[in-house]
Every structure is written in structure tokens, then in C-alpha cells.
Amino acid sequence: MNLKRSSALVGLVGVVAVASLTACGSDNNAASSASGSVTPASSASCAGKDKLSAAGSSAQKNAMDQFTAKYIEVCNSKGKSKNVAYTASGSGDGRTQFIAKQIDFAGSDSAIKGDQAAKAKQRCAGTDAWNLPMVFGPVAMAYNLPGVDNLVLNGETIAKIFDGSVKNWNDPAIAALNPGVKLPDQQIGVVYRSDSSGTTDNFQTYLTAASHGAWTKGAGSDFVGGVGNGSKGSAGVAQAVRTTPGSIAYVEESFAAQNKLQTASLDSGSGPVALSTEAAAKSVAAAKFANPASDDLTLDLKAMYSSNEPGAYPLVLASYDIVCSKGYDADTAEAVKSFLTSAANEGQQGLGALGYVPLPDTIKTKLMTSINAIAPAS
């Protein structure tokens, strides 16, 4: 898929500039909004305060730029001026700022849980913070290996690469997955996220589920493989792979596409599957909620990551918006509900062209129930 992005930042202004892809400089590069007109009958109320603030996931940034552009158009059509300022500072920082009440909501590629969830409850006037999955996107196994254009990997081999057990590109474990391919006798250069990252958490969760026991390091937002070189942010990782022959990294497909990186096909037991929106959508459709009866929509990703469904690309990241369930003042609650309503509807138009998977109906239905349940503190 081709990704078009711009270098415009979405700030606290009344308009969004949309430009063509220029250079890759940071995670704050903005995405172009989807083509086509906004649905005039949007169900977003455009109520509440005029400016929302958010921060967190860099993987979510391109989608958030589109959501904001669409929201501005919707509200302008209703005679209201609204905006959302989103800073792509990383999932860990987003959760920290949300807990500290520095932003209205956080973007995170990992659900808020444990001690952070308890602190978020204090921030939300004694009510729970909810994890609402707004964005899905495939994570690429991006590599730089001139002459090897159709690399195939599986969960077990990736685990061994990222824990240092497999060190060379012509290792028998890689060769077995790539018959007839001339693999170089070259050391593998592992690149990982140096900052606290939900992408890292999802990647290590995938390895735990898909490596048949080869990955024993656990998950979490910090890389625990113990090998390689770290780079900050998704853009930093992609740039490191682009400039380092023999390297490999996990990075969102949009950044891999932007940097024109090679991406491996994944074989979960039913044959190699190349990364594509359609193949990722097959995996997303199988996602389940950890607690189906709750308005907190944390996903149980085990089934998706361990699936061997033919044609499904399993390594898909779910990115949440973390919100207070009933802990905002009235103006903030109305604005958050309105923005997320727009994001879940017209905001999904054209996301495939940006490297994301639009929300399937099974998730969108639950999501709208949760959004409508957001209420001010009593």
C-alpha cells in the first residue's frame, strides 16, 4: 500500500493543512485527510468545549490527523469551530500525561492496566478509565537486505532473531522458510524501540503467542530481548532500518511504506501471508474483547496473534483512546463524546490508504455503545 503524509502539524488552530508527503523527520509528521466529502448528517453533536488535547501513540498519529480534519469539517458545517491537538509522544508518555490530568485523553497501543489504571481512576473522579480501540494497523517486519525481496519469517524465527539466538541471515532457521533464496552470510542488525512503546508491547505479546514457546522474555512496553540497537519513535526505527544494511525491526506499516522498506511475509502455519490491509482485516475481524460485558473495550489479542487462518496477517496493532468513563466536567465529556463519535464514523473513511484497517462492524457497534455512555462526574 502507498502512504501519503504531510509535514503539517495539527495544533490548536481552526483549520488543518493538508499537504503531500515530504521528508520523514519525526513521529509528528501529519497525514493527509481522506478524499471525498464529509457526511452531512454526521451524528457528532459538536457540543462541549472547543479545544481538546491529547497525546500518546505515534502509531495512531496519522489516523488522529484524519479524525481531526474530518471533525473540523463536520463541525464547520454545523457552524461550530472545534479542534483537537494531538502530540505523538509515545504510548507510555500519553498514559502518564492522562493520569496527571495534563490532557483530555490518551492515545495508547497498550491498554491502561494495573497500577496505572488505579491512578487513572483517581484522575477520573473515582470512576474507571476506559480503553476504546479506535485504530487498527498492521505492524511490519521491516528489513534492509538488498537482493532479498520476498523474505518469509514466522513467529518462532522472529523470536530467535530478537532474543539473539539467530544471529546471521543465512541461519538454517531462516533458510528453511526461504527455499531457493540466496541469503547473505551477514550479521542481523536488530533495531527496536528505545522509548516506552505500545508497539513494543504488541510485538512482544505477538511473540509470546506465536513463537510456540521460543520467546520467553515476556511482554511490556519496553523491549526485553537484550540485543540490538534502539531508536526513538516509529520514525526513528524506520529511518534506522533504511540506513542500515542487514537490519530488521518491527514498525507500523505506514512508516515502513513511507520509507520504502522491504517487509517480510509471515507464515503462521498456513503458508506465507504478505502484509496488506485485506490480510490484516482478516485478523482484526477475529479480535475478541477481554470482558464482553464491560464498556471498557480492552481486547484479548491472544486469538488474533496465534491464529493460523489462511490469508490472515496476524501481527496487527490495536491502538486505544483512553478516556474517563464518568470523570470529566460536562463540557469535556460532551466534547470527547462528540469527537470520538466522528472518529468512529466518517473518520474511518479512507483509513486503508493511510496504512490502517477501518473498524469492523462488530467492534464499531460496541465502541459506539461505550462512547455514548461517557458522562460527566456526578
Provide CB contacts within 8 A for 197, sequence distance 6+.
58, 90, 91, 92, 109, 221, 222
pLDDT per position as a tens digit, 93-116? 999 999 999 999 999 999 999 999
Is 197 annotated for ligand binding?
Answer: yes
25 is in an annotated binding site: no
Give CA separation, 166 vs 190, 227, 231, in Å: 11, 11, 21
> What does the pLDDT read at residue 287?
85
* Residue among 3, 23, 17, 10 at smallest CA distance from 51: 10
59 is in an annotated binding site: yes
**Nine-digit cell at 336?**
470527547
Residue 247 annotated as binding?
Answer: no
* pLDDT reported for residue 362: 86
Could you identify the residue written with the cell 503467542? 209
CATH fold of 5-137+287-300+319-373 reads D-Maltodextrin-Binding Protein; domain 2 (3.40.190)
- pLDDT value of position 378: 84
pLDDT at 181 (0 to 100): 97
Nearest to 208 by CA among 300, 136, 112, 306: 306
109 is in an annotated binding site: yes
User: Could you count the other beta carbons within 10 Å of the beta carbon of residue 297?
Assistant: 22
Annotated binding-site residue? 35: no
pLDDT digits (tens, 9 = 90+) for 9-61: 333 333 333 333 233 333 333 333 333 444 445 899 999 999 999 999 988 99
| pLDDT score of 141 | 98
Domains 5-137+287-300+319-373 and 139-284 share a fold: yes
Q: Is the pTM of this model over 0.85?
A: no
Is 57 assigned to a binding site? yes
pLDDT digits (tens, 9 = 90+) for 125-156: 999 999 999 999 999 999 999 999 999 999 99
Q: Which CATH class is domain 139-284?
A: alpha beta
pLDDT per residue as tens digits for the range 222-260: 999 999 999 998 899 999 999 999 999 999 998 899 899
What residue ranges do the domains of the chain occupy?
Answer: 5-137+287-300+319-373, 139-284
